[in-house]
Structure 1
Amino acid sequence: MAPLHQPPTIIETSHISPPNGTVPSTTLPLTFFDAPWLTLPLGQSLFFFSYPNSTERFLKDFVPNLKQSLSLTLQHFFPYAGNLIIPPRPDPPFLRYNDGEDSLVFTVAESTGGTDFDYLKTDSPKDIRVLHDLLPKLPPPHVSPQGIQTRPIMVIQVTIFPGRGICIGNTSTHVAADGVTFTHFMKYWMSLTKSNAGNDSTKILLPSPPIHTCRNVIKDPGEVAAGHLERFWSQNSGNHGSHATPEDMVLATFTMSRNQIDNLKHWVTEQSTIQSHVSSFVVTLAFAWVSLIKTLVQDSETEAKGEDKDQQVFHLLINVDCRNRLKCTEPIPPTYFGNCMAPGIVSVNKRDLLGENGVLAASDAITARIKEMLSSDLLKTAPTWGRGVGKWVMSRFPTSIAGAPKLGLYDMDCGLGKPCKMEMVHIETGGSIAFSDSRDGSNGVEVGIALEKKKMDAFALNLQQGIKRFEI
């Protein structure tokens, strides 16, 4: 573990908005893809970059460019500088950006309290409280005399570790957009920062800007949003995203190499009876899910009552990106700004999941569920999603996924090289497994897990034993 630490010292706080007059005041309705996130936790991420310079140079040379590039980026990703507006019931919430009024709170901090940057960028288990110090906190909602709540969408904190590196921390409400959009935003901002630094003689190609204009073509297929709004109104306390962190919680990363993944794929392909292509992501997810459930079951002191232990069913929530997959009047493009993910529930009997061929059972079930979703009319099935998610929520050890290797979360450069580490801190809220491409560029997969320290040790052992089993 790292030595005792002190929170970073705040150097400055500023407000960043698109250049005045470049974005008209705009309101955007929430779609039925956005509505579920009204009652779900915030997104929290950290990106670490090596930076062997002083705080003075950081403030003089790097921060001004970072701010200017962020302002220009927000010209395209303007909802992140805006607010979630929540009128009194029955009017639905919506996103709003007011030109000349709204902005994103941007904090610059310095860590001089003994927290080791080299420790933070490792894969080893880290005290989650240390990571919290690097995350900005969303300001509390503002409530008008008319009862209208105004909630900021995003805040950013950049912390320098003098002579070692910097950390870009982000906290945002998931209501505005999903991980695809957030990754798009980060890559655009980082690319623009590098371009404006002028250190590279080659021209930097910026990602395409996002598209906001197709929200109205995403038609609610059966009052799906209404159910989520009812749930939100019934529990709306103004404490969106708040949660208690369990004691002794750590976050760790485990890397599956290309060779280990290929060994898994070969074994699953040889054993499977279903005639479907086995993807690297599916077998990695299956392997991680089995290892996690095995850990949680081993640690549990009491078994579920009133049912045969072997007949228990474990559920995994996966997400399928619906961009370009919805039967709308016009296609939803890959650069659509918003949420556009369909939830799917994978269910496997305990006896099968934790048995000798648990990875095969999990892989086959995940593959079948994805195939079923992609072959269906996703809009027509949307009214049934809530029942599946409800079953998942009430189950034992519900597990979900954050991120995906295909997002290329390490494929960004702000002029300091690619991130030397990235963390999805919000997986601490329970049951999530984080996935990203491996930062060494070897086509492996990084798996992030947040557990109490004792459980993390057990998970690491289960993972290690499983990897040895599939070695060829």
Structure 2
Amino acid sequence: MAHLQPPIIIETTHISPPNGTVPSTTLPLTFFDAPWLTLPLAESVFFFSYQNSTDCFLKDFIPNLKQSLSVTLQHFFPYAGKLIIPPRPEPPYLCYNDGKDSLAFTVAESSGIDFNDLKADSAKDIRVLHGVLPKLPPPHVSPKGIQTRPTMVILVTIFPGAGICIGNTSTHVAGDGVTFTHFMKYWMSLTKSNSGERTTLLLPPLPIHGCRNMIKDPGEVAAGHLERFWSQNSGKNISHATPKNMDRATFKMSRQQIDNLKHWFTEQSENQSPVSTFVVSLAFTWVSLIKTLVEESEIEAKEEDEDFHLMINVDCRNRLNYAEPIPQTYFGNCMAPGIVSVKRRDLLGDRGVLAATNAIIARIKDMLSSDLLKTAPGWGQEVRKWVMSRFPTSVAGAPKLGMYDMDFGLGKPCKMEIVHIETGGSVAFLESRDGSNGVEIGIALEMKKLDAFAMIVQHGIKKFEM
């Protein structure tokens, strides 16, 4: 188990787009952005193997990383800007001021934590990752009551002779997982292309900001979220305290284990349509998690008709009925929440994975076949039902994002962690880092519950072996 010893700060610099490349810009929040005003920050850590010394790291790696970040921010400039929160009733907005705004970039060295322990899949205290995770500063409040907060901060920590961590904290208001992954892949590609390697790298397409005004609120959806935000004392609610007495671990499902699940589903289900890796592995994980929580809960529900709820997100890019579609490279939030509901007796029964898989498939199919803009006014009520339920579960990440498909010139990550799953009952889903088309599942629970979850998963995997 890694010890809770913070790294030593070497330097903090402020990185901005090259001077004069981005005009001062104000971006309004859309109804997709507004819900995140009251929700936790987005936090992630990428681990890379690095065998060199701190001196080599500072001389050979950091200058290129900074320079490529500056150019990347020329295109992803909201991450160098601020979230502005005026006094009520003026709505918050994103703003970048040329020559004034920048992204805080900190470099640190760790000598008291074992890099291999930190990146291990095995259970560890959630607090150890916070040592390599930057802290987003609290809002600055002007005499006129205007709150100003950076949208992103980055911390790069070297473990001499072992590895590097790149930690990132940002406000989810600025962009969703698609946007963040786009930013990271662009930065990665540019860094590698500038490293002197004799390779020709194609940079990802540039993000698009100009279509933000196309996203029209279909029914005062944003107004409801803003009202809730103002009533909860504004900016204080965009941060969260680190939970205590909680561990996290990563569980892997191999390609063969997933194929076994798919085969079992096909045999048991009346629905003969192919089932995706994400859906069937999510269903299996959800059932295992609820079994863990119900068995360990001090308050047992006796009613068999109790509903358990899972929240999934569907990317709305290219799926909104506008004259012109929202492109896949749109910078911002563009996710629709979908609530999957399954009766207790069905989810915890012998065929719980079947019930969960069918429910997830049906919910996704319903969302993709409906006019998402027409359903948007009802999203809030559905999410409130999810929040008020027992053991509400949600999903962070997705295998299709390709979080391991990043190389800063050091090789692909040897581990990636979505840290913010420790709040809100989220489960992290990533593609397997070895490229075998399996999945990695990140879970944060109390230690006793995490052990119970591991046993339930192991027993469940054996059940579906062919």
Would you say same fold, with TM above 0.5? yes
**CA distance in structure 2 between the aligned counterparts of 1:95 and 1:127, rounded to whole angstroms:** 35
- The answer for the alignment partner of 1:283 in structure 2 is 280
Distance 2:77 2:247 in 1: 34
Counterpart in the other structure of 1:325: 319
Does the CA contact (< 8 Å) of 1:246 and 1:452 recur in 2?
A: no
**Aligned counterpart for 1:258 among listed residues 255, 259, 278:** 255
Q: Distance in 2 between matches of 1:19 and 1:102?
A: 12
Structure 1: how far apart are the matches of 2:234 and 2:23?
31
Q: Which runs of 4+ in 1 moved over 3 A?
A: none
Q: Establish whether residue 230 from structure 1 lines up as the match of residue 224 from structure 2.
A: no
1:176-195 superposed matches below 5 A:
176-195=174-193
Bigger shift: residues 115-124 or 7-16: 115-124
Partners of 1:217 and 1:9 lie apart in 2 by 46
How much has 1:136 moved relative to structure 2?
Answer: 0.4
Code of the residue aligned with 1:279 in structure 2: it is S
Q: Work out the CA distance in 2 between the residues paired with 1:182 and 1:291.
A: 29
TM-superposed CA distance for 1:245, in Å, is 3.0
1:309 Cα deviation after fit: 2.4
Moved more, 38-47 or 249-258: 249-258
Contact 2:4-2:127 within 8 A present in 1 as well: no
CA distance in 2, matches of 1:301, 1:141: 38
Residues 37, 238 of structure 2: 8 Å contact kept = no
Say yes or no: does 1:397 pair with 2:391.
Answer: yes
> How far 1:151 sits from its partner (Å)?
1.0
1:355-406 deviation line (CA, Å, top 9, x unaligned): 0000000000000000000000000110010110000000000000000000
Matching residue's letter, 1:136 = P
Q: Which residue of 1 aligns with 2:115?
A: 117
Conserved? CA contact 2:175–2:331, under 8 Å:
yes
Q: What amino acid is the match of 1:252? A: A
The residue type paired with residue 93 of structure 1 is: P
Structure 2 CA distance for aligned equivalents of residues 396 and 83 of structure 1: 36
In structure 2, the partner of 1:299 is 296
**How far is 1:90 from its partner?**
0.9
Give the aligned partner of residue 159 of structure 2: 161
1:237 deviates by 4.5
Displacement of 1:202 after TM fit?
A: 1.7
Q: Report the equivalent of 1:216.
A: 213
For residue 207 of structure 1, what is the aligned residue in structure 2? 204
Give the 3-state SS of the residue equivalent to 1:18 in structure 2.
coil
1:428 to 422, 430, 433: 422
SS in 1 for 2:304: helix
CA shift for structure 1 position 275: 4.6
Amino acid at match of 2:164: I
**Partners in 1 of 2:164 and 2:303 — Cα distance?**
48
- Offset from partner CA, 1:255-309 (integer Å, 9 cap, x none): 11001001101111111123533111100000000000000001001224xxx42
Give the TM-score normalised by the residue count of structure 1. 0.97
Match of 1:345 among 325, 339, 342: 339
Q: Is the 8 A contact 1:83 1:153 kept in 2?
A: yes
Normalising by structure 2, report the TM-score: 0.99
Deviation readout 1:399-419 (Å, 9 max, x if unpaired): 000000000000010000000
For structure 2, which runs of at least 5 residues remain unmatched after alignment?
A: none
CA contact (8 A) 1:303 1:309 kept: no
Could you report, residue by residue, the CA deviation over 1:107-134 in whole angstroms, capped at 9, with x for unpaired residues?
0000012x11011222111211110111
1:118 alignment partner AA: N
State the Cα RMSD in Å: 0.9
Give the aligned residue type for 2:168: N
8 Å contact kept, 1:134–1:167: yes
Match of 2:401 in 1: 407
Query: What one-letter code is carried by the residue in structure 2 that aligns with 1:171?
Result: T
Identity in percent: 79
Q: 2:362 aligns with which of 368, 381, 397?
A: 368
- 1:244, distance to aligned residue in structure 2 (A): 3.1
| Separation in 2, partners of 1:362, 1:337 | 32
Q: Deviations over 1:195-254 (max 9, x none)?
A: 11112x121111011000101111100000000000001012532333333332111111
Task: Indicate the residue corresponding to 2:21 in structure 1.
Answer: 22
Report how many aligned residue pairs link the two structures. Answer: 466
The AA in structure 2 aligned to 1:16 is I
The residue that corresponds to 2:62 in the other structure is: 63
- Rounded to whole Å, the distance in 2 between the matches of 1:87 and 1:435 is 36
Amino acid at match of 1:204: L
